[in-house]
Structure 1
Amino acid sequence: MAHKELNGKEDFTKALETKGRYVFIYAHDSEVPAPAQDSCRNAKKFSETTDAYGLNVAKYPVAKDHFKIEKVPTAIVYKDGKEIKRVDEMSQESIKEVEQILLS
């Protein structure tokens, strides 16, 4: 599951309109931290069910309001436009929680 970059409100809206698949959004404020990069490389197992997006909120600050992001990094999982799970300041434990959702 390679992350596609969200580059503005049109991309934000289009991502959330995805039906029948999980939408995973990883919000960060500059460089993607190493643990997240490792997670992305290991996440090929989710590519059948999940569209993954990176979101640089430093580059697109309007995204913080759009996705109600208070802390970074934050991971948000949606399905059919509805938020399923949100994890602020991701830890290894929280990454595993998200992976369990994406495997279900």
Structure 2
Amino acid sequence: MAGHTELNSKADFEAAVGTKGKYVLIYAYSGEVPAAAEAAAEKHASSTDAYKVDVEKHPAAKEYFKVSVTPTVVIFKDGTEIKKVEGVSESNAAEVASVLV
């Protein structure tokens, strides 16, 4: 999987979160996904399925993933949320990457 795959419905959200055996990274955003975020998704592709969802286009995602600030990264493993980082930026991206190694 290159970069992030777009989530477009609640069924997509549930299918992504339910993935077993890999980390699942959800990048909740409004507007554009930075190139650095796409590059990070590609870097961790062997251990992580990366998804993105525009919470302005899909407001149900805000509630489903409990997003109050964008961008937010939520990481799941075997259906369980293991990490959430709100207001993701270059300065705290290492916090996200540390989970995915």
TM-score, structure 2 length as denominator? Answer: 0.91
Q: State the one-letter code of the partner of 2:86.
A: D
Q: How many positions carry a matched residue from both structures?
A: 100
Q: Within 1, Cα distance between the matches of 2:98 and 2:25?
A: 13
For 1:42-61, what aligned pairs fall within 5 Å after superposition? 42-61=40-59
Change (3 A) 1:95 1:11: same
2: CA distance, partners of 1:67 / 1:39:
18
CA–CA separation in structure 1 for the residues paired with 2:41 and 2:53: 17
1:15 aligned counterpart, secondary structure: helix
Q: CA deviation at 1:42?
A: 4.1
Q: Among all aligned residue pairs of Structure 1 and Structure 2, give the percentage whose two residues are the same amino acid.
A: 44
The CA deviation string for residues 43-90 of structure 1, in whole angstroms up to 9 with x for no partner, is: 433111100001100000011111111111101111011111111111
1:55-94 to 2 correspondence within 5 Å? 55-94=53-92
Runs of 4+ in 1 over 4 A off after TM superposition: none
- Note the residue ranges of structure 2 that are not aligned, 5 or more in a row: none
Q: Give me the whole-angstrom Cα distance separating, in 1, the residues matched to 2:94 and 2:62.
A: 24
Deviations 1:26-53 (A, max 9, x none): 0011222x3xx22322443311110000
* Higher-helix-fraction structure: 1
Normalised to the residue count of structure 1, the TM-score between the two structures is 0.89
